[in-house]
Amino acid sequence: MSNGLNKEKQISYGVLTRRKGDWCEMIVQAYYRKLGWLVYPKFSGPIDIILINEETGEVRFIDVKYKNTRKGTKTNGRRINRTVKTPLKKFLKIELIYVDDDENIEFPYANGRERWAKEFEVGRNKNGQYNGKVLKRK
C-alpha cells in the first residue's frame, strides 16, 4: 500500500471516519431542528442534509465536514479547508458546515476568496504572509 497501512488497518480507519462523519451530521441536524427547519438527511450523494423552512419555502443544501486542524506546521491549529467537489455545485448552492470534537458548529465564509479579501483586514508577518488572524471587517 502506498500509505504504508495494511488492508485491515485501512478498513478500520475507514469505519472510524464514517462514524465521525455520521456524528457530525447528527449534530448539524439537531442544530437546525432546534431552529425550526425541516431536516432531511441524505440517502446517498454529495449533499448530506437538505433543509426546508416551512414559513419561507427556503431550501438549503448542506455538506457537513469534520473540522480537522493542521498540526506541526506554521499554521498549527488552523482549520483544514475543504471544498465541495461535486459537479452539482455548478447548479446548486451547497453550503459547507464544520463540526469540531466539542460539537461546535462553524460556518465558513461562503462568498469566495476575492470578496473575503475585500471585506476583511488581515494580519501579516514581517514577510507579508497571512498569519491566520482577522483584524477587522473593512
Q: Are residues 93 and 68 in the same domain?
A: yes
Q: Are residues 54 and 117 in the same domain?
A: no
Q: Are residues 55 and 96 in the same domain?
A: yes
User: Does the residue 44 lie in any domain?
Assistant: yes
Percent of the chain with pLDDT over 70: 71
Q: Are residues 19 and 74 in the same domain?
A: yes
Q: What pTM does this model have?
A: 0.64
SS3 of 59-90: EEEEEEEECCECCCCCCCCCECCCCCCCHHHH
| Domain tally, the chain | 2
Q: Are residues 46 and 23 in the same domain?
A: yes
- Cell numbers 457537513 label which residue? 64
Q: What is the pLDDT of residue 75?
A: 57
pLDDT in tens, 5-57: 677 766 665 556 667 888 889 999 999 999 999 999 877 777 889 999 999 99
Per the structure, the complete domain to which residue 115 belongs is given by 111-138
User: Does the residue 2 lie in any domain?
Assistant: no
